[in-house]
């Protein structure tokens, strides 16, 4: 397996709370890596560190330069007062009709985001990642707010991305992705 990212002895704290102490791990290319753990265990923080949304003084190295990552955090990063279509147009993205129909959101393209359910918003935010040309997808809790049918469709799309030489790094404390490599952060609240 080709190593994408290596973390060695990662130390990170927020205020007085130790989030990571001497955490070492590897992320592999063309695989799904699933970061698991309870609420507050550091899943989202680890994803932000991997995407360099936040920094640490610890040693992080990538075996590949200029990584092009499509990142979706736990917030959907949609402008609530605009429609689904207008949100995509802001980023010069044309809605993929087939993919948005698969996710059950194409009919919502002219609806304002603030009038949609949390699950509908999440699927639209995921669609934006799925339509990106980026080979590396980093997804923070992608199944949050989704019903069982939508979760199965998202999993299908994830595996299609893998078959196209993609890489996925995701945090998750819900249903496991059986074919993924697991990083278990456990329970840091105990």
Domain interval for residue 151 = 29-54+67-184
List phi, psi (to 5°) of 158.
Answer: -60, -45
Query: Which pLDDT belongs to residue 176?
Result: 81
- What's the rounded Cα separation, in Å, for the pair 157 and 154? 5
Task: Please indicate, yes or no, if residue 170 is contained in any of the structural domains.
Answer: yes
Task: Please indicate, yes or no, if residue 190 is contained in any of the structural domains.
Answer: no
Task: Please indicate, yes or no, if residue 159 is contained in any of the structural domains.
Answer: yes
Query: Which pLDDT belongs to residue 190?
Result: 46
Q: Which residues of the chain have pLDDT under 50?
A: 190
Total Cβ atoms within 10 A of residue 99: 17
Task: Please indicate, yes or no, if residue 4 is contained in any of the structural domains.
Answer: no
Q: What is the pTM of this model?
A: 0.91
Task: Please indicate, yes or no, if residue 8 is contained in any of the structural domains.
Answer: no
Q: How many domains does the chain have?
A: 1
Query: Which residues, 6 or more positions from 103, have their beta carbon under 8 angstroms from its beta carbon?
Result: 123, 126, 127, 150, 153, 154
Could you tell me if 84 and 94 are in contact, meaning their C-beta atoms sit under 8 angstroms apart? Answer: no
* SS3 assignment, position 85: helix
Total Cβ atoms within 10 A of residue 114: 11
Task: Please indicate, yes or no, if residue 104 is contained in any of the structural domains.
Answer: yes
Q: How far are the Cα atoms of 17, 23, 64, 172 from residue 186, in angstroms, in the given order?
A: 15, 12, 29, 12
Burial level of 86, CB count in 10 A (0-12/13-18/19+)?
A: middle
pLDDT tens-digit readout, 162-183: 999 999 999 987 778 888 999 9
Query: Which pLDDT belongs to residue 107?
Result: 98
């Amino acid at each position: 397996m080709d190593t994408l990212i290596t973390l060695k002895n990662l130390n990170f704290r927020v205020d007085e709370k130790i989030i990571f102490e001497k955490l070492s791990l590897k992320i592999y290319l063309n695989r799904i890596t699933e970061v698991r753990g309870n609420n507050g265990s550091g899943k989202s923080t680890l994803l932000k560190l991997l995407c360099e949304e936040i920094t640490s003084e610890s040693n992080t190295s990538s075996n590949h330069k200029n990584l092009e990552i499509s990142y979706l955090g736990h917030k959907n990063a949609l402008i609530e007062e605009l429609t689904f279509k207008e949100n995509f147009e802001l980023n010069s993205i044309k809605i993929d009709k087939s993919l948005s129909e698969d996710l059950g959101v194409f009919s919502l393209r002219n609806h304002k985001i603030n009038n949609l359910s949390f699950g509908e918003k999440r699927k639209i935010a995921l669609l934006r990642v799925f339509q990106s040309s980026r080979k590396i997808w980093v997804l923070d809790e992608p199944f949050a707010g989704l019903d069982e049918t939508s979760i199965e469709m998202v999993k299908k799309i994830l595996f299609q991305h893998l078959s196209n030489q993609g890489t996925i790094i995701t945090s998750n404390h819900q249903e496991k992705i059986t074919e993924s490599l697991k990083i278990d952060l456990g329970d840091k609240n105990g």
